[in-house]
A and B are shown apart, each in its own frame.
Chain A
Amino acid sequence: MAAPIERTAETTSIDLESLERSLRRPRTLFSYMMSGLTGAATIGALFPLFSVLYMLLVRGSASLSLGSLRDLPPAAMAAGGGFGNAIVGTFVVVAIATLISVPFGVLAAIYITEFGPETRLASGVRLAAKVLTGLPSILAGVFAFAVVVVTTGEFSALAGGVALALLMLPTVLLTAEEAIKRVPAKMREAAIGIGATPTQVVTQVILPTGAPAMLTGVMLAVARAAGETAPLLFTALFSNYWMSRTVPEFLPKTPGDLMKPTASLAVLIYNFSGSPFENQIALAWTAALVLVVIVLVFNVIGQSLTSRSSD
């Protein structure tokens, strides 16, 4: 091994000193400093997140019990109680929102990618969706209030669902569009080449291939909607009672129940956190913990679907 080094030394004579890594060199020093800075910024960014989670765990787990997940909210001075109806209400309102936003979002995405990709309607829809993603959630609440609450004369789960659907729609539409675009053009061609009609291309090839990525979008939209408070204040309002009189049923027995004010975790947290009563404040913490766990579960499901589909 000595020979080649010798030869290089003869011909070009590199100063080995200049290759050395040393803190005395400004370049090396700068590199270390920047590494330190990015590391510190990362920790700084994570700090609020983890402190929120820590507080939630510490204070939320204090009154976490089977009872708190199962019982009705306590009256002002009462002990015990829980937020079972708010958990059910959250799921019901989000389910309504999903049932409204997913068909509209996915079908619109199919139209703007497959049937009229370069039409004015498509670019209009795309622009509207992008604008809507930044819509302040309170405006969605005001809109649903005007459209549903005022016309039906009642605060209701349906009105809450409409408000959340408005917030979910752009996310569902844009991620579905992305998912459809990611289906390779050669698969589309293959289907057309063996005589598939446009409908068959969509139902047999595009939707099955794009489904995991679309579900990711739905899950992320659901996670966002489940945590929204402002739009529900005007629409679903709150209720201290179960939606349906027969308690543990997940879905309400009659559609009439969807037309009544409905509890949700987000609004319960909002109401109880401002309460002067210890018990209600403690329950607000616990409800917050439960809500974060629910949102987290939807997020994780969404992420795992994407990572699987990108294999």
Chain B
Amino acid sequence: MSVSPANNGADGAAHLPITGASQNGALIDCNIAELHYGKFRAVRDVALKVKKGTITAFIGPSGCGKSTVLRCLNRMNDLVRGFRLKGHVIFRGQDIYASRIDPVAVRRHIGMVFQQPNPFAMSIFRNVAFGLRLNRYKGSIPDKVESALRQAALWDEVKDKLRTSALALSGGQQQRLCIARAVATEPAVLLMDEPCSALDPIATRRIEELMSELKKRYTIAIVTHNLQQAKRVADMTAFLYVDTTGGGRTGYMVEYGATQQIFESPAEQHTQEYIRGEFS
């Protein structure tokens, strides 16, 4: 389907056909057989299903491809030259890599929060309203901005300075602003790529509390380096590891299961060693 971006109304939800057939309650069914950047095979054999209303964490050592997998879920990888995917990512019964799908429309349903807080160089208000304006939102933008800022637990701190630059906020506030910006358009899924790695422990704690609150409305997938964080917030955890046999560095999924099971009785030896901190 070729969506003309100018006409994406607030009813953008209609762009991806919602077939009732959600695979066993899975909102996203991700199956990556192989993922290449040019000749480099970055990831292989990642298959998992993300349930609606849960938090799924991706853990694993550096370079294991957990961010790459996360970025597959809303086609952010399309921006990387030479990106190729063998496999599928089915969202609400629709393969988002099908040729008729517009990646821009996908990203309006599956929002993203990045590692570095990245507010635009504009006012707090305009940052949150940004996505609404892209979508030509018809309702009251100020109401929507307030509700998004409340959901991000930022409203009380910024309600008196909505017109000041977002860049004047602290790092933790900026990251919550980015979360508010992402939830303003009410995506179905929020992808968070190490959202706390640039923040101090207190700001990290606040974001974690926020995630538990947000999962009532959104399905969340998070990449984290912090095992304790995964343990605290995630319902499901996927452990990825790097396969260096054959000269390359290819990430693959070792184990996927309930967080408690992964942390307390992992089935695979690699997972066990990683959880125990025997390598990182």
Complex interface: chain A residues within 8 A of B181 (CB) = 190, 194
28 A-B residue pairs with CB within 8 Å = A118-B81, A186-B114, A187-B118, A187-B121, A189-B79, A190-B178, A191-B130, A192-B107, A193-B76, A193-B111, A193-B182, A194-B112, A194-B131, A194-B134, A194-B185, A195-B108, A195-B111, A195-B131, A195-B135, A195-B185, A196-B134, A197-B5, A197-B104, A200-B134, A204-B133, A208-B122, A209-B120, A209-B121
Q: Evaluate contact between B121 and A194: CB separation under 8 angstroms.
A: no
Question: Is A248 among interface residues, defined by CB-CB distance under 8 A?
Answer: no
Contact, CB under 8 Å: A192 / B79: yes
* Set A189, A199, A204: member contacting B118, Cβ < 8 A: A189
User: Contacts A187-B121, A194-B111, A195-B185 given; 10 further ones with Cβ under 8 A?
Assistant: A186-B116, A187-B118, A190-B178, A194-B107, A194-B131, A194-B181, A195-B108, A195-B131, A196-B134, A204-B130
Q: A205 near B: Cβ within 8 Å? A: yes
User: Given A194-B181, A200-B5 in contact, is the A186-B111 Cβ separation under 8 Å?
Assistant: no
Contacting residues, chain B, for A209 (C-beta < 8 A):
120-121
On chain A, the residues within 8 Å of B185 by CB distance are 194-195
Give me the 7 closest cross-chain CB pairs, A-B, nearest first: A195-B108, A193-B112, A197-B5, A186-B118, A195-B107, A190-B118, A194-B131
Query: B114's contact among A118, A189, A199, by CB below 8 Å, is which?
Result: A189
Per DSSP, chain A at the interface is: helix
Smallest beta-carbon distance B75→chain A, Å: 10
Residues of B within 8 A of A118 (CB): 81
Residues of B within 8 A of A204 (CB): 130, 133-134
Chain B contributes a number of interface residues (CB within 8 A of A) equal to 29
Q: How far is the CB of A110 from chain B (nearest CB, A)?
A: 17
Q: Is A67 an interface residue (CB 8 A)?
A: no
In the assembled complex, which residues on chain A have CB atoms less than 8 Å from the CB atom of B134? 194-197, 200, 204
A189 to B77, CA, bound (A): 11
Report the nearest A residue to B111, measured CB to CB.
Answer: A194
Contact with B along A172-211 (1 / 0, CB 8 A): 0000000000001011011111111101100011001100
Q: For B5, list chain A residues within 8 Å (CB).
A: 197, 199-200
